[in-house]
Structures are given as structure tokens and as C-alpha cells.
Amino acid sequence: MLGNKPILLVEDDPAYTENIKCALDIMGIKSRLIHWDNGKDALIYLRNQNNRMPWLILLGMNAHSLDGLDFMEVVKSDDRLRIVPVVIISGSDKNQDILRAYELGIAGYVVKPRDASKIVDTITTIMNYWTLSELPPIER
């Protein structure tokens, strides 16, 4: 069911992106991973009616050209996009960033582990939760 809908990753760190891909492969997640290194291009992708709507967005906070919170403002103000769950994966553990993300309607906020060996465990935990969750029907 989820395998035919993609996951959108907005992340500007190539090493972290590779670790996320590795974690998804290890878990056997069949969803295609659509990757953009900036929020601006990710929004262009999301607004294109010809593209498949993702069932989950994994969002880095510091993606170039549009940071994670600005991206969230746009996504959550769009009637078609607001139902897609967005999980921020950030290097920031600042209370004001976390509070603002939840005020904007984030589905989850995870602080990136500093130890690279724990990244796969972190992504596995996120994906275990979201593959068990009942998700809203998403068109396209």
C-alpha cells in the first residue's frame, strides 16, 4: 500500500542523506525516496500535479533556500499538502525551534544523533512508527 507512494526527503547534508537511504534499505521500505537538497525545489515538486504525493516528508531544518520552519509554513497553509505528515530531523534542540515546529503542525521533531552510528537506529524508529500509523488518504 505505501510502497507505491514516495517518501520526500528535504536534506542538504549528502552524508546524512546517504545514511537515511541506507536505513530505508535495511528496513526493506519499498517506497521510492524523492530527495531535494532545498525546500524551494521540494515545494515545486509537491505543487506539480503530475508528481506522486508523498505519504511522508522527512525535513531537515537547514535546507538551503528555504529553512524547515519556512517550508512548514507553506506546506501547512496549502489545503492539498497539509495532510501529509512532516517529521523534522534537525541538529537543533532549541526549545524555540521545537515549539515553533509544533505550532506549525509538525507530526514529529527528532534531533539528529551526533553519533553517526545511531542515525540508522533513529530513522528505523521513525519509520517503524509511521509504517504502523493509519495515514489519511492522499490523492495522486
Rounded Cα gap, residues 8 and 56, in angstroms: 6
The pTM assigned to this predicted structure is: 0.91
Query: Does the pLDDT value for residue 68 go beyond 80?
Result: yes
**Structural domains of the chain, with CATH:** 2-132 (3.40.50.2300)
Q: pLDDT tens digits, residue range 71-88? A: 999 999 999 899 999 999
> Quick check: 2 and 28 in contact, CB under 8 A?
no
Specify the DSSP class assigned to residue 36: E
Q: Averaged over 32-48, what is the pLDDT?
A: 94
Question: Among candidates 140, 63, 56, 64, which has minimal Cα distance to 106?
Answer: 56
Strand order across the beta sheet in which 56-60 lies: 33-36, 7-10, 56-60, 86-90, 108-111
pLDDT tens readout for residues 84-120: 999 999 888 999 989 999 999 999 999 988 887 788 8
